[in-house]
Amino acid sequence: MEVNFFKDLETEIKEKLKDFGYPIPSFAELRKQHISATEAHLSYKHYDIKNLVLHFLTVTERRIPIKKWNIHISPQLQNRTEIVNIVSMLSKGEDANSLLSHRIRSRHQNDEHSHDLLRYEWGIYHLHFTKKRSKNLLFVFIHHDDIYLIDILAHESKKLGNVTWTNTDLIQTLHDNWPHVIARAIFKTDSKETLTTEQRRNLRENGGNTNVTVRDGTEYMPIGGGFSCSKHPVRAVIGADVLVDKVRVLEQWTINSEQQIKATLKQNDNIEVRLVLDNDYNPRVYGDCN
């Protein structure tokens, strides 16, 4: 019985990245993104594939699922004609991922010029208005089958004084209009803690997640789940660990159960067993009889 689930996992991830239209980083490229890559590669059996999984899950964290969304529009965006086409796309279930930053295509997802810490920390996506990019950006939040259009802001520019990526007004708008969608992240309701824009920006640039306190004293923990010290989304870091461990357990179980599998299939000839990822990126095992 032929079993190589980690090779299957590598193939599955590469195919999915290809389907997205994104480049596939080599193991060598992924190693260069980690300070301790040499030592880790020698000590961790599936180090390279785990890096590829982390890259893939980071990319998927940034993507907007393709489905028909229930649209909610903030008071700030009422009567804003710029959003008409995007609203139409999202409500019809069209793919809006072409309007995301081109940096989602980067082979180096935790590079300072490629990551999306706003998305990882606050759970807020930013969309351009055309595939050719735009100076103004639409900020949205996703919750279950609903998508909330928060505001339009100019692209970040220290030179022009544009505060975008750490603009807490985005959280304030969510709190004022749809508090139920972010209630799970409430830390306390009578907070006095505040950070200046510069403090928040410096902390984020140096790998620090921060809470946000809105005007009525409600303090929110990172709504998007936060990012790690490597500046990958925490959910992707945990997800990579979980997926690699699931594949390891499945592979070992399958090898140990060869006779049971053959008896169940009533097949004594060679059986090729392979691993695939379902639509939710969970591993599934399929067998073919040769």
Convert the pLDDT of each residue in 207-255 to its tens digit: 999 999 999 999 999 999 999 988 999 999 999 999 999 999 999 998 8
Q: Is the pLDDT of residue 45 over 90?
A: no
Q: Indicate the pLDDT class of residue 2, thresholds 50, 70 and 90.
A: confident
Q: Is 110 in contact with 236 (CB distance < 8 Å)?
A: no
Label residue 42 by pLDDT band (50, 70, 90): low
| pLDDT of 44 | 73
Q: What is the pTM of this model?
A: 0.92
Return phi, psi of residue 162, to 5°: -85, 115
- Give the model's pLDDT for residue 246: 96
pLDDT of residue 67: 96
pLDDT at residue 94 greater than cutoff 90: yes
From the CB of residue 250, how many other CB atoms can be counted at a distance below 10 Å? 18
- Is residue 47 a contact partner of residue 41, using CB atoms and an 8 Å limit? yes
Predicted confidence (pLDDT) per residue in 255-269, tens digit:
898 888 777 766 666
Residue type, 216: D
Mean pLDDT of 174-198: 95
Q: Quick one: 259 exposed, middle or buried, by C-beta within 10 A (0-12, 13-18, 19+)?
A: exposed
* Among the ranges given (25-29, 57-61, 194-198, 263-267), the one the predictor scored with the smallest mean pLDDT: 263-267
